[in-house]
Amino acid sequence: MSDISDTSQSYTTDLSFWSKDHKLGISTQSIHQLYTAAKHAFMSSLQQYKKVRLDTSSSLTTIETELMKHSRALLLLSCDFGTAWNWRKEVVMKKQNILLYLDELLLSTLVLSYSPKSERAWSHRRWVIKMIAGKHTNLEEILRNESELAKRIAEKSKMNYRAWNHRCWLVSYMPESQVIDELIKYRDWAGLHVADNSCFHYRSRLMSRTLEDSWYKQDLKATQVCQLWKEEITWSEMLIKRYIGREALWLYRRFLSVSWIKHFAGRMGGTHLDLFVENELKLFRSCKVIPDNVFEDYQSQAMFAAIYIMWLIKQMDEGEGVRCLEKVGEELEEVVNNVCPEKAFLLDLVRTKNNRV
C-alpha cells in the first residue's frame, strides 16, 4: 500500500498517528483520506487481478500479493467492506494453503479487537473453519482458541450476540471430549454471569450436543452423560437459590427440565419422573417465600418460580398434570394473586388443559 505509506510523513507532523506498545492510533481527521486511498488501491489491484486471474504467469502471484495487501489495509479501516472479504476468500481458497487460512484468522482477530460486533469478521472466521475442518490436525486446538476468543470478546463487549452466536456455532465441530471440557471448564465462569442469557444459551447448546451422535445410547456413555445432566441440574438449582430473581437461570432450568424428562426420566421409569417432579415442587416452595428483605428481589423470585411450575405442568401428560396440580394448585394461586395477578390467566390455561376449570 505504497500510496498510503508515502503520505504518512505529512500526517505524523500534526499528530495524525500515534503509536505506543505496538498499538496504533489514527486521528479521525485522517481516517477519510486513508480510507479513500485504501479503497482506490484495492479497487485498482482488483481490476488487475480480474484480468489475469486465470493466468499461471509469475505476474499473477505479484498481483495476488498486492490484492491481499490492499484488501487488508482497507478492512482495517472499514471492517464491513464485504467485497474485500469475498476476494480474500477467492485467493485463499484457490491456493489451498493451510497457513493462509490461519492468516485469515489472525486478520479477523485484529479486526475484532477494535470492532467486536463486526458480522463480516465473525462470518469470515466461520468460513475459514469450514475450509480447514477435516484438513488440519490441530482443529481441536483451533476450536478451543476460538471459544476462548469469543468468551473474551463477549466479556469486554456487552450484549454481543454475534460473539455468542459464533461460539454456539463452534459446538457442532467439537468432539465429545471438548464439549464435556467446555461444560466443566466454564461452569464457574457462567456462575459469575447469571444475568447473561446468552451465556446459558451456549450451555444449552453444549448440553444438547451430549445427546447427539448416539452418545447417550451406549451403555457406558449413557451413564456418563446422565451423571453430567444430574450435576448440571443440581448446579442450576444452587444458582437459583443463591442469586435471587434472575430470569436467565429460570429459563435455563426450563431447558434442563424438559430435556431430562424427555431423554432420561422417561427411560428410567415413572419413579424417577415422580422424584424429579417432587424436587421441582420443593424448589418452588423454597422460592415462593417472600421475607421482609429490601436487598433481594424475592417477589421476582416467587413469580419466576410460579411461572416455571405452571410451564412444567403444561409439559406433562394429562394424568401427571392433574396430580401435580392437586399437590400445588392452591399454593400456585396464592403466589400468583400476591405477586403477579396479571399472570393469573396462565394458571387458568393450565387448569383448563388438565380439566381443572
DSSP calls for 14-54? TT-EEEETTEEEE-HHHHHHHHHHHHHHHHHHHHHHHHHTT
User: Strand 17-20 to strand 23-26: parallel, antiparallel, or no bridges (unpaired)?
Assistant: antiparallel
Taking phi over 0 as left and psi of -120 to 50 as alpha, with beta for the rest, 213 belongs to: left
Among 38, 60, 95, the domain-final residue is 95
49 inside domain: yes
pLDDT of residue 6: 45
Same domain, 3 and 25: yes
Question: Are 105 and 91 within one domain?
Answer: no
Q: Domain for residue 74, yes or no?
A: yes
Q: Mark whether 88 and 2 lie in a shared domain.
A: yes
Q: In the chain, helix, strand, coil percent, each to 5?
A: 80, 0, 20
**Within this chain, do residues 131 and 58 fall inside the same structural domain, yes or no?**
no
Give the global pTM.
Answer: 0.86
Does any domain span residue 184?
no
Per-residue pLDDT tens listing for the chain (357 residues): 444 444 444 444 467 888 888 888 888 888 899 999 999 999 999 999 998 887 766 688 899 999 999 999 999 999 999 999 999 999 999 998 999 999 999 999 999 999 999 999 999 999 999 999 988 788 999 999 999 999 999 988 888 999 999 999 999 999 988 999 999 999 999 999 998 999 999 999 999 999 886 555 555 577 888 899 999 999 999 999 999 999 999 999 999 999 998 888 767 766 788 899 999 999 999 999 888 766 678 999 999 999 999 999 998 888 888 889 999 999 999 999 999 999 999 999 888 877 644
Q: Looking at this protein, which amino acid is placed at residue 64? A: E
End-to-end, the C-alpha distance of the chain in Å comes to 75
Whether 48 and 108 map to the same domain: the answer is: no
Residues 21 and 52 in one domain: yes
Q: Are 203 and 228 spatial neighbours (Cβ–Cβ below 8 Å)?
A: no
Q: Which of 152, 173, 194 is the last residue of a domain?
A: 173
Task: Map residue 357 onto helix, strand or coil.
Answer: coil
Q: Mark whether 9 and 88 lie in a shared domain.
A: yes
Give yes or no for a contact between 243 and 301, defined as CB atoms under 8 angstroms apart: no
Same domain, 63 and 108: no
245 secondary structure, DSSP code: T
Q: C-alpha angle with apex 41: 37 to 47, nearest 5 degrees?
A: 145
Provide the residue range defining the domain that includes 57. Answer: 1-95
User: Nearest Cα to 182, choosing from 146, 133, 221, 224?
Assistant: 146
Residue 355 lies in a domain: no
- Find out whether 92 and 100 touch, Cβ atoms under 8 Å: yes
- 78, part of any domain: yes
Number of domains in the chain: 2
Asked if the structure places residue 138 within a domain, the reply is yes
Q: Do the beta carbons of residue 296 and residue 244 sit within 8 Å?
A: yes
> Would residue 55 count as lying in a domain?
yes
What pLDDT shows up at residue 292?
A: 78
Q: Which of these three, 61, 95, 129, is where a domain ends?
A: 95
Same domain? 59 vs 132: no
Within a domain: 293:
no
Handedness of CA 76, 80, 86, 87 (dihedral sign): negative
Q: Tell me: do 9 and 74 sit in the same domain.
A: yes
CA dihedral of 7, 8, 13, 18, whole degrees rounded to 10: 160
Least Cα distance to 306 among 352, 279, 278, 337 occurs for: 337
Phi-psi region of 166 (alpha: psi -120 to 50; beta: other; left: phi over 0): alpha
